[in-house]
């Protein structure tokens, strides 16, 4: 028998804030200037949903540690500038959070500073203050289950009663590995087929989420 959902765990980038488009654009630009030409599709496949440390390691393996350090620094600068001028909430998410009655938290590959910035800029921080978890708190980032298990433990909920809202392949893989139900949001950049898999519901409009969670 499937347990009712007791906790909704949201990813941040691409699920709450429409920042993935900004991140992809910045990564493509950095690759072009620092010696690793990348298409948007390659950035989505290799970087989206990954932690800062994992992306840094990929760049270092390709271009060396010195260039990776420059890449990381420039990404933070350019991404921050673009967030301040362009960032919006994911379409429909504000309505969902306003109406949702289930307990919720955030578990993201991003740092706490980054989430304070992006969630603050979009007016969403107040929905999750005190219930925000970062991959910097665990040993392994997504697709390992560590972050989601950490969030469930801190929130006092069994993993089997958690629903994870994700928009990346590493994210839904991490949710499955944690023994949680995955809801793959395909209304952003990641193709639906990259989100599909066991114990996973793929959807395209964030406004569908309350019904999918059994709230309506």
Q: Could you report the per-residue pLDDT of 192-203, keeping only the tens digit for each?
A: 999 999 989 999
Domains of the chain plus CATH, in order, are 7-18+88-212 (3.40.50.1000), 20-86 (1.10.150)
pTM confidence score: 0.86
Reduced DSSP (H G I as helix, E B as strand, rest coil) percent helix, strand, coil of the chain, to 5 = 50, 15, 35
Q: What are the strands, taking DSSP E only, across 71-156?
A: 104-108, 132-134
Q: How many residues does the chain have?
A: 216
What mean pLDDT do residues 9-19 have? 95
Q: Is beta strand 132-134 parallel, antiparallel or unpaired with respect to 162-166?
A: unpaired
Report residue 142 as tokens: 């997504």
Helix (H, G, I), strand (E, B) or coil at 59: helix
Is residue 11's pLDDT more than 80? Answer: yes
Query: What value does the mean pLDDT take over residues 68-79?
Result: 93
- What average pLDDT does range 165-193 have in this prediction? 94
Looking at every residue in the chain, the average pLDDT score rounds to: 93
pLDDT band (50, 70, 90) for residue 49: confident
Is the pLDDT confidence value at 50 over 90?
no
Residue 114, C-beta contacts closer than 8 angstroms, at least 6 positions apart: none
pLDDT for residue 98 is more than 90: yes
């Amino acid at each position: 028998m499937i347990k009712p959902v007791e906790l909704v765990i949201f990813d941040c980038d691409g699920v709450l804030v429409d920042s993935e488009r900004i991140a992809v654009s910045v990564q493509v630009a950095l690759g072009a200037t620092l010696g690793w030409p990348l298409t948007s599709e390659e950035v989505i496949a290799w970087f989206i949903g990954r932690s800062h440390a994992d992306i840094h390691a990929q760049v270092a393996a390709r271009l060396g540690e010195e260039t990776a350090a420059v890449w990381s620094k420039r990404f933070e600068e350019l991404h921050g500038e673009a967030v301040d001028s362009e960032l919006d909430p994911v379409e429909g998410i504000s309505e969902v959070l306003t109406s949702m009655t289930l307990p919720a938290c955030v578990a993201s590959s991003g740092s706490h500073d980054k989430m304070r910035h992006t969630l603050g800029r979009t007016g969403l921080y107040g929905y999750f203050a005190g219930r925000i978890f970062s991959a910097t708190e665990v040993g392994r980032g997504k697709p390992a289950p560590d972050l989601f298990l950490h969030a469930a433990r801190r929130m006092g909920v069994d993993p089997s009663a958690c629903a994870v809202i994700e928009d990346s392949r590493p994210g839904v893989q991490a949710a499955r590995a944690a023994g949680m139900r995955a809801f793959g949001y395909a209304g952003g950049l990641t193709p639906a087929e990259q989100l599909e898999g066991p114990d996973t519901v793929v959807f395209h409009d964030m406004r569908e989420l309350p019904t999918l969670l059994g709230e309506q």
